[in-house]
């Protein structure tokens, strides 16, 4: 790996801009902590090994001190989102994707299924309309495909309802 020479003559493997972006992101996350229901530095200090004063230093772009990884993990757990981890992956050219995203009962998988079912219902209607006359069998196929499409959206609606209820109860 080739070192990057910064404007001040120092050499690092990541650019000064990346270092500054990390500091800015930490500051943004701390603002989220303060303005959310998390109570900011005090709450983070209560679950980590560092003091509020130390956490404030991590927010200061002029301070060369960087937030240790265990504190980052605690903060991201508190915010329930790996924002800084995603940015670090991006610096290295990776995308961070949530585990099981697009598989099983994930929202993306359910949406994919509903789009597929809707497309099949649409195709059934187009084929039935092709000759201008709909038969009893074609009406049955349309009803079956429309029902499957509706059922796939019902699963999404139920999942959304459960999650809304869970989040409201957590407040």
- Whether residue 43 is contained in a domain is answered as yes
Q: Tell me: do 16 and 47 sit in the same domain.
A: yes
Same domain, 123 and 158: yes
Give one word for 96, left, alpha or beta, with left for phi > 0 and alpha for psi -120 to 50: beta
The confidence score (pLDDT) of residue 171 equals 56
**How many structural domains comprise the chain?**
2
| Same-domain check for residues 75 and 131 | no
- Name the residue with higher pLDDT: 122 or 20: 122
Q: Are residues 84 and 116 in the same domain?
A: no
Mean pLDDT, the chain, rounded, equals 84
Which of 91, 124, 156 represents a domain boundary (last residue)?
A: 91
pLDDT at 146 over 70: yes
pTM (2 d.p.): 0.52
Tell me, what's the pLDDT at 36? 60
Whether 80 maps to a domain, the answer reads: yes
| Cα separation, 75 vs 70, whole angstroms | 9
Pick the last residue of a domain from 91, 118, 134. 91
Domain span holding position 161: 107-170
Other residues' Cβ atoms within 10 Å of the Cβ of residue 93: 6
């Amino acid at each position: 790996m080739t070192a990057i020479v910064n404007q001040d003559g120092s050499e690092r493997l990541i650019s000064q801009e990346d270092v500054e972006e990390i500091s800015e992101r930490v500051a943004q996350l701390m603002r989220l902590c303060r303005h959310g229901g998390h109570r900011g530095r005090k709450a983070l200090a209560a679950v980590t090994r560092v003091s509020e004063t130390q956490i404030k230093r991590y927010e200061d772009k002029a301070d060369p001190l960087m937030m240790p990884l265990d504190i980052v993990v605690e903060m991201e757990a508190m915010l329930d989102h790996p924002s800084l981890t995603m940015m670090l992956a991006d610096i290295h050219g990776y995308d961070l994707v949530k585990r099981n995203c697009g598989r099983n009962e994930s929202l993306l998988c359910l949406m994919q299924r509903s789009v597929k079912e809707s497309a099949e219902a649409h195709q059934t209607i187009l084929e039935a309309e092709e000759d201008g006359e709909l038969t009893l069998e074609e009406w049955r196929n349309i009803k079956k495909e429309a029902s499957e499409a509706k059922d796939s959206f019902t699963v999404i609606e139920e999942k959304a309802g459960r999650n809304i209820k869970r989040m409201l109860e957590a407040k």
